[in-house]
Structure formats: C-alpha cells, structure tokens
Amino acid sequence: MPIGLDSFGSMPTSANFSNMSGRIENLAASIRPQLPDAFGAPPNQQPFGMYPQGQGGQPGAPSYNPGYPASNPGFSASGPTPGYPSGPTPGYPSGPAPGFASGPTPGFASGPTPSYPSGQTPSYPSGQTPGYGTSPSQGYPSNPSSVAAPVKPVNRGTVREASGFDALRDAETLRKAMKGFGTNEQAIIDVVAHRSNKQRQQIVLSFKTAYGKDLIKELKSELSGNFEKAVLALLKPSVLYDATELKDAIKGAGTDEQCLIEILASRSNAEIHAINSAYKAEFKKTLEQDIKSDTSGHFERLLVSLVQGNRDETQNVDITLVKKDAQDLYNAGEGRMGTDESKFNAILCARNRAHLKAVFEEYRQVCKYDIEKTISREMSGNLERGMLAVVKCLRNTPAFYAERLYKSMKGLGTDDKTLIRIMVSRCEVDMLDIRAEFKKMYGQSLYSFIAGDTSGDYRKLLLQLCGSND
C-alpha cells in the first residue's frame, strides 16, 4: 500500500479529516513489525534480568547440575550460554547493576560452590587411569593399537635399603674394622651385605670425606681371595660392575663367552643402554667395538643384536604374527637342509617376551621338538649356548640363573667368578625367585648348596646375600 504524500494528494477535497487519526492507526497496525514480548529479549525466551529456570525451563537453558565443582550451577564451566550472545546485554551498561554493590552476595562465601571442594573429585584417584595412556578421556587408551610397557616388577631381592641408614656411621664402622692389628671381617659383612647398592655408594663417599682415604684401596690392603672380590664387587655401582665384568670377559687371551651371554641376554633395554654408556666412559671404546674384535660369525651377530638394547618391551601379542614366527623358525631349521641362523636371530632378539612365549608354545604345534631342542639340534658351540640363554631368559629368568648357579658349584671345584657375579648382581633384584626355582629344579636349597661348596668369611658373605635356608 502506498503511504507517501501522493496518497494525501489524491484524496478528495471533501475528505473528512475528523476520521483521519483512526485511518492512520489502522494503517500503522497493518504494517507494524512483530516486536518482542519484552524489550531486548528474544521471542519465547526468558526475559533479561530474570533468573534461569530449573528443570523444564526455557528451551536451550541447561538444567541444574550440582555435580561440577567450582562452577556455577546450571551452566557449563566455560563459554556463553547457547542462544545468547557473548558480551554485555544490548542496551544495558556493563558492570554491576545500579544500586547493587559489586562482589559476592552477602552471606555467601566466594569461591567454589559450598559442599563441593575444588580440585580432585572425591573418591577418584588422581593421575593416569591404570592400564591406559594419558589422554583427556578417562577409561580409553591413548592408542588402542598398542599396549603400554609393563609396570616395573616388585623388588624380589634379599638385600634392601636399610632403615635408619647413616652413611657416616657405617664409614666409621668400616674404618674401625680395618684399624689396628687384624681385620674384623664380620663387621664388614654386617655393613656391605645389609645395605642397598645406592647406600653402599654413599658409604664410599662418606669414608673419603671423613678420612681422606679411598675405601676401595683400604679394603684391598686388608682383605684377600674370594672374600675380597665379593666385597669389592658389592661396593661398585651396579652398572659399572656389569661393564667391568664384560670387559674382563673380553680382554686377554681367551673370551668368557658365558659371561657375555649371561649379562646381555638377561638385562633390560634401559640397563643395556646404561652399561654401554658406562663401558665407553670407563674404557674409552664402545662395547660393540670390543665384541666385534673378539668374536665372529653368527655368535658375533647375536651379541651385537643384544647390545643394541632395542627389544620390543610391550606386552603385545599378535596371534597372526605368532603363527608366522613359529612357522618361520621351523622353516629356518627343522623344515630345511641346513640352518638359517639369521632368521632365529631376527625373531629371538627383537620380539617381546609375551609374544615369544606364545611363539614357543605355537612351535610345539608346528614341530615335534621344543624350541630349545631344535636350537641344540641345529646349532653348536657359543651360538648354541647364546641362543639357548636368550630363550631361557625369556621363558623364566630366575630359572636361568638357578641353573647357572648350580653349574658354577656342582662337581669338582667352583666357578667363583660366576658365583660372585650372580649373587652380587641379583641379590637386590630376584634372589627370592632364584632360590625358589633352585629348590624346585634340584631338590636342595641354594643356601645349603653354597654352604657346602664355600668356606670362611667368603661363605658367610654369600649366605647373607642368599638370605635364608628354604
């Protein structure tokens, strides 16, 4: 409808202007836009200035939820309320409402909603959900395709940290044991056999600090024989002791291949990396270089593979890959003329423990022989011993050490170097399990076996490291 001045110009001169106001009102009503029910409020919504409704309130408003600590009831913790623009309400000045003081409402404490403490929700432990990687979603692994590395096992050693430890007091005890005529060997045993390796390192430092002398040199001048060797082994840092044993196994005319195999087949990736670093720092050459210069052939390749410290340490077991590996091992040995040693090396040095245990079980279904029997049939010499050590450590490390201890003491003579190395290196790790396996395998306690094969203070020290008679 035209509403310009031309409309008025076309009116008849006889128009009745007394009715004009009514006509204008009717005209305005026909073209008036639909205005909100209240100034500044969207249609069919809560008018501004009112409190939000509870359950069953206006559409788009969240229901009252008291379960979120440190937040305003009924509203999400962050972001504007859906359906409302952010910022101040149009037409209203920002800041507190006129006539009302800023700050918390009188009678109500500021901070989180009363009865809901801030921070961690009660009854739920903080930190990562057990068995799952860190991620924003609780209860779901961060990477569903992989499983986290196993938790570090509980200490199963017989030697643990001494409570009420005082390094300076122990240093004084050792000084008194060596002072004057003769040596109090029992006092030395009581200290070194009942302190952790970490505590023993503190004693060495405190001795030099207090007396200006090197404890190792002092003990060397006072002790002798296998007792001296065992005491000095206990006073070396664990990683340096392993590195030194490996160096001793390589240097000289012959090579102690059994020592190389024992250490490299039984240590974790982290331990092997630490040994490599200590070896390089102490002897100015890498362990791998010395292994290559002193070994050869497939045995060298086996040791070089182990010294990388790169075995998969997850718990993943892929059944398809298990079957393939078992078949590949059969095809590389029993299923062909000759032996493909490289295939054995690739599988046994790279796969994780859980996977290989499954492979060994699957191998029984593929071949009439156990995997250890196959290795003995297909290989010989150091390579055979090395591969068998890898398999035995993967299957049951304490049983592997129980067998090594038994062989070091059975028959005429004692392999004291092996005996000392295992007792010293495992007394803080899994000696309790080694004792149990020894009793199960040989029907005699490790304690009684040591007692019958050693003597003097040397025997006393080893028996303290063993713990007790089973």
DSSP state of 370: -
Please, are residues 235 and 242 in contact by the beta-carbon 8 Å criterion? no
pLDDT value for 136:
37
Q: Which is it for the CA torsion 86, 90, 95, 96, positive or negative?
A: negative
Beta carbons within 8 Å of 39's beta carbon, 6+ residues apart: 91
Cα separation, 137 vs 146, whole angstroms: 17
Residue 343's pLDDT is 97
Is the four-CA dihedral 168, 172, 177, 181 of positive or negative sign? positive
pLDDT reported for residue 254: 77
Q: Taking the CA of residue 38 as centre, how many other CA atoms within 13 Å lie in the half-sphere pointing to its CB? A: 8
CB atoms within 10 A of CB 436: 18
Measure the CA–CA gap between 428 and 238, rounded to whole angstroms. 10
Measured at the alpha carbon of residue 120, what is the angle toward residues 115 and 122, in degrees to the nearest 5? 55
Residue segments in the chain with a per-residue pLDDT below the cut of 50 = 1-15, 17-18, 31, 33-149
Handedness of CA 312, 315, 320, 323 (dihedral sign): positive
Q: Which residue is associated with the tokens 């005429």?
A: 412
Angle at 376 between CA 375 and CA 380, to 5 degrees: 100
pTM over 0.75: no
Q: What is the pLDDT of residue 188?
A: 98
Phi, psi (degrees; rounded to nearest 5) at 90 = -55, 130
CATH code matching the domain that covers 319-395, chosen among 3.40.250.10, 1.10.220.10, 3.40.50.620, 3.40.50.1240: 1.10.220.10
CATH architecture for the domain at 167-223: Orthogonal Bundle (1.10)
How far lies 250's CA from each of 260, 290, 291, 464, in Å?
8, 7, 7, 30
Q: Which amino acid is at 315?
A: Q
CATH number of 401-466: 1.10.220.10
Cα 393 to the chain's mean position, in Å? 21
CATH 1.10.220.10 residue ranges for the chain:
167-223, 238-308, 319-395, 401-466
* 200: nearest Cα among 229, 234, 250, 226: 234
The confidence score (pLDDT) of residue 25 equals: 57
Alpha-helical (H) ranges within 296-426 are 297-307, 319-332, 341-348, 353-366, 371-378, 381-395, 397-409, 416-426
143 CB-near residues (< 8 Å, 6+ apart): 133
The DSSP secondary-structure symbol of 366 reads H
Q: How far apart are CA 13 and CA 11, in angstroms?
A: 6
User: On the CB side of 359, how many CA atoms lie within 13 Å of its CA?
Assistant: 27
Residue type, 289: Q
Q: Please state which CATH number belongs to domain 238-308.
A: 1.10.220.10
Helix axes 381-395, 371-378, angle to 10 degrees: 170
